[in-house]
């Protein structure tokens, strides 16, 4: 993806990955770290985007387990899942949503 210039990563990826990405991929890696002394859950900038997307992808039944024989097949299934997610976001279905319906009396 030549258009990617900056990548945000978890603190677990700090170290050699930053130098590798800069040297070989020509991509800047910014590490998103917790605040000093943080003990409870707190939304970190940019990290919530990854967490939210993984949550959306995990709703796709076929991606619940790794059924694919080849990594390329698994990658294709992730692409299909993201296409479905993006299409639903661009053209939502009409009519009331199940969570908007009033409870039966």
- % residues pLDDT > 90 (the chain): 8
Q: Is residue 80 part of a domain?
A: no
Tell me the pLDDT tens digit for each residue of 50-96.
Answer: 788 888 888 887 787 777 888 888 889 889 999 988 888 887 777 77
Q: Is residue 82 part of a domain?
A: no
CB 17 within 8 A of CB 29: yes
Q: Is residue 8 part of a domain?
A: yes
Tell me the pLDDT tens digit for each residue of 7-44.
Answer: 888 888 888 888 899 999 899 998 888 888 888 877 77
Q: Is residue 103 part of a domain?
A: no
Q: Is residue 105 part of a domain?
A: no
The domain containing residue 4 runs over which residues? 1-33+43-66
Q: Total domain count for the chain? A: 1
Q: Which of 7, 44, 49 is nearest to 29 (CA)?
A: 7
User: pTM above the 0.85 mark?
Assistant: no
d(CA 78, CA 5): 22
Q: Is residue 94 part of a domain?
A: no
Tell me the pLDDT tens digit for each residue of 15-25.
Answer: 888 889 999 98
- Four-residue CA torsion sign, 51, 57, 62, 67: negative
């Amino acid at each position: 993806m030549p258009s990617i210039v900056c990548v945000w990563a978890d603190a677990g990826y700090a170290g050699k990955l930053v130098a590798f990405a800069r040297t070989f991929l020509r991509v800047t890696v910014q590490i998103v770290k917790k605040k000093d002394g943080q003990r409870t859950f707190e939304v970190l900038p940019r990290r919530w985007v990854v967490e939210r997307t993984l949550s959306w992808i995990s709703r796709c039944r076929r991606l619940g387990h790794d059924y694919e024989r080849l990594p390329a097949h698994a990658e294709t299934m992730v692409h299909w899942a993201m296409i479905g997610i993006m299409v639903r976001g661009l053209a939502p279905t009409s009519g009331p949503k199940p969570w908007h319906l009033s409870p039966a009396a």
